Each structure stands twice: as structure tokens, then as C-alpha cells.
């Protein structure tokens, strides 16, 4: 068949297919029946192969190539209902991926909590050590924030709901930013995640040790215990995902480094998504619950312990059932 005849014959089908693609790309209901699309797409592919084999002009081939490419992109898109996937992830997928990567989570936890606890104990034993890690004005600021007298004067109680909201926004921005950095810098052979885990562990440990040592433990610990369950876990998970990236580069095993990295990133991003969720909860708890002074510290300790238990049992048990939503 000559090219001109070929074009005359199929031009209407191409135009209809292009219109269908336009509608699909804009997210509008397509003019053609959806079940007609695969057949139309395969037809285009066949005609493209045919015109290449018959030596038709490159302009025609280019046009068919574009149609085929656009069709390919619509036909093979990875689409599944976002809400359902999100629900499955929250109900068990997240806990399963954390358990599947327990080695990295354990390593990150050891790094983070290890540096936190040892720094806390060191500062408790040698109080002046805190100034070697933190600048003096930052320490003074921390002291003001958790001054038991000030909080008895009702500094927190004076905050209106607008301030709580402001703090919520601030915590979201700040903490999730830190989690993202902890994850991303793992690409530098894991060194970045290592740094952020240790740095945050040391800082928090120093502040905790210092405040306990000068007798501010009541306001400090009752403040942090509630949201700490979510926040510290989230930072650890982001660090674990970062370490996963780094180890894929350092020791890719039987894969090429590129393939190992892609695999590690696909698994790691699940941990990061979960960490985002945890940090949102943490920011909410921190802004609206931890800052409340109406409830007694004892209540806060009890609730805080329950929250820790909740987080621990989520990761221990969620998603284990055979019929878990997927």
C-alpha cells in the first residue's frame, strides 16, 4: 500500500485516538469507550511498525511515534486508588515495612538513643559539658522554656488557641524538614544520616541531661514524653531509611549499585512516608497536649507512657493478620 493511501485510510482513527488521549491527559471523561482504548493503542503500534518496515516518510513515523508514546503513557500508568493504598499502608503496610527492615531500624535506634542516653548521662555527671556542645544562649533559652516557676505563672496557659496553631505549623515545618534531610543525606554513603542521627541524639541528650541536672526535670520530661513517642520514632525511621540508601551504595551485594540504590529508595521511601505521618501526629500532640498546664504532670506521664506503648504495639502487631488490607 502506498503511503498516501495508508494515511487516507487510517487518518480518522488517528484523529479519534489523539482526541481520546487529549481527554485522558486532561483527566476528562474520554469520548471513546474505555475498553476500546487498548485495541486502538495496539492498532497504532501495529501501524507504526508497519510504516517503519515499509519505509514510509519520517514525518509520518514521527507522528505515529508520538501517538504511540502518549498511548503508552496512558495505557501503562501505575494507577491505583490513593485512598485505599493509604489506608492499607496505615493499617499494616507501614508496620510490615518497618519489621522487614529491622536491621536498619535497629542500627538507627542504637545510634540515636545510644548517643542520646550516653550524652544525657555525661552531662548529668559533668554539667559544664553541655556548653561544649551547645552555645550558651541556646542553653539559656532552653532553661527559660522549661523554667518551673514560669510555667507556674502560666506562660503556657496564657497561650491562646492561635498560638497552639502557630506552634503546630512551626513543628510540622521544622521536624518534617529534619526527617527529610536525615533520609536524603543517606545518599552520601550513609554518612549524612549518621551525622544527623548522632547530632540530634547528642543535642537532645545534652539538653535533657542539663535540664534534669539543674532541677527542671518535672516540666521538661512531662512536656516531651507525650510527643516524643512519635517524634523520636519518626527521626529514627528516617535515619534507618537513610542508612538503607547508604548501605546500598557501599555494599550493593549481587546487584549493580544503581539497581541496589533504586531498590533501597523504593523501600526507604515507605519508611519516610510513615515518618511523615508520625511527625504530623507528634506536631499535633506537641502543640495541643504537651503544652497544656491544666493537667497534672502525673497524668502526662501516664498518657505519655500509653502513647509509647501504642507506638510499640503498632510496630509489633499491626499488619500481622493474614487478612490484612493490602
Partner 1 sequence: METPEGIDLLLRPAGLVPRALAFTLDLVIRAAILLALFIGLGLLGTFGMGLAALLLFLVQWWYMVLFEVLNQGRTPGKQWLGLRVVHDDGTPVGWTSSLTRNLLRFVDMLPFGYFLGALSCLGHPVFKRLGDLAAGTLVIYQEKPQARPELPPAEAQQPPFSLTLDDQRALIGFAERQSSLSAERRLELAAILAEPLRTTREEAETRIHGIARGLLGPQ
Which residues lie near partner 1 (CB under 8 A)? 2-5, 25, 41-42, 45-46, 48-49, 53-60, 62-63, 65-66, 68-70, 72-73, 76-79, 82, 160, 162-163, 165-170, 172-173, 176-177, 180-181, 183-185, 187-188, 192, 245, 258, 261-262, 264-266, 269-270, 272-273
Q: How far apart are CA 279 and CA 302, in angstroms?
A: 21
Q: How far apart are CA 304 and CA 312, in angstroms?
A: 12
Residue 244 near residue 252 (C-beta atoms within 8 A): no
What SS3 state is found at 154?
Answer: coil
Q: How far is the CB of 82 from partner 1 (least distance, A)?
A: 7
Q: How far apart are CA 216 and CA 296, in angstroms?
A: 15
Give the torsion through C-alpha atoms of 94, 95, 100, 106, to 10 deg.
110
By beta-carbon proximity to partner 1, the closer residue of 124 and 155 is 155
Q: How far apart are CA 298 and CA 11, in angstroms?
A: 78
Q: How far is the CB of 272 from partner 1 (least distance, A)?
A: 7
Residue 141 near residue 211 (C-beta atoms within 8 A): no
Residue 243 near residue 108 (C-beta atoms within 8 A): yes
Q: How far is the CB of 105 from partner 1 (least distance, A)?
A: 19
Q: How far is the CB of 230 from partner 1 (least distance, A)?
A: 17
By beta-carbon proximity to partner 1, the closer residue of 6 and 301 is 6
Name 51's Cβ contacts closer than 8 Å, sequence gap at least 6: 3, 6, 60, 61, 64
Residue 23 near residue 31 (C-beta atoms within 8 A): yes
What SS3 state is found at 135?
Answer: coil
What SS3 state is found at 225?
Answer: helix
Q: How far apart are CA 325 and CA 7, in angstroms?
A: 50
Q: How far is the CB of 119 from partner 1 (least distance, A)?
A: 26
By beta-carbon proximity to partner 1, the closer residue of 196 and 220 is 196
User: Of the candidates 32, 8, 9, 10, which has an alpha carbon nearest to the alpha carbon of residue 19?
Assistant: 32
Q: How far is the CB of 200 from partner 1 (least distance, A)?
A: 16
Q: How far apart are CA 145 and CA 207, in angstroms?
A: 12
What SS3 state is found at 74?
Answer: helix
Amino acid at each position: 500500500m502506498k503511503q498516501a493511501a495508508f494515511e487516507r485510510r487510517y487518518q480518522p482513527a488517528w484523529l479519534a485516538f489523539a482526541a481520546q488521549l487529549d481527554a485522558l491527559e486532561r483527566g476528562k471523561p474520554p469520548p471513546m469507550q474505555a475498553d476500546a482504548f487498548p485495541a486502538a493503542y495496539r492498532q497504532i503500534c501495529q501501524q507504526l511498525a508497519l510504516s517503519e518496515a515499509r519505509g514510509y516518510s519520517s514525518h509520518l513515523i514521527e507522528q505515529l511515534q508520538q501517538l504511540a508514546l502518549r498511548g503508552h503513557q496512558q495505557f501503562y500508568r501505575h494507577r491505583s486508588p490513593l485512598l485505599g493504598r493509604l489506608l492499607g499502608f496505615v493499617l499494616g503496610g507501614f508496620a510490615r515495612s518497618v519489621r522487614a527492615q529491622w536491621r536498619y531500624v535497629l542500627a538507627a535506634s542504637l545510634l540515636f538513643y545510644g548517643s542520646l542516653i550516653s550524652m544525657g548521662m555525661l552531662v548529668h555527671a559533668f554539667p559544664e559539658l553541655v556548653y561544649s556542645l551547645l552555645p550558651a544562649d541556646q542553653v539559656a533559652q532552653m532553661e527559660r522554656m522549661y523554667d518551673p516557676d514560669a510555667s507556674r505563672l502560666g506562660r503556657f496557659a496564657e497561650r491562646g488557641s492561635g498560638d497552639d496553631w502557630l506552634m503546630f505549623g512551626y513543628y510540622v515545618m521544622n521536624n518534617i524538614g529534619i526527617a527529610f534531610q536525615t533520609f536524603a543525606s543517606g545518599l552520601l554513603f550513609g554518612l549524612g544520616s549518621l551525622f544527623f542521627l548522632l547530632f540530634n541524639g547528642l543535642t537532645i541528650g545534652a539538653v535533657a541531661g542539663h535540664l534534669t541536672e539543674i532541677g527542671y526535670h518535672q516540666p521538661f520530661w512531662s512536656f516531651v514524653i507525650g510527643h516524643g513517642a512519635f517524634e523520636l520514632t519518626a527521626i529514627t525511621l528516617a535515619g534507618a531509611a537513610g542508612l538503607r540508601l547508604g548501605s546500598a551504595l557501599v555494599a550493593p551485594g549481587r546487584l549493580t549499585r544503581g539497581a541496589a540504590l533504586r531498590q533501597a529508595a523504593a523501600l526507604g521511601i515507605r519508611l519516610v512516608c510513615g515518618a511523615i505521618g508520625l511527625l504530623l501526629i507528634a506536631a499535633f500532640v506537641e502543640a495541643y497536649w504537651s503544652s497544656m498546664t491544666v493537667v497534672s504532670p502525673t497524668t502526662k506521664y501516664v498518657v505519655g507512657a500509653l502513647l509509647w506503648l501504642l507506638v510499640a504495639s503498632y510496630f509489633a502487631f499491626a499488619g500481622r493478620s493474614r487478612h490484612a488490607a493490602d
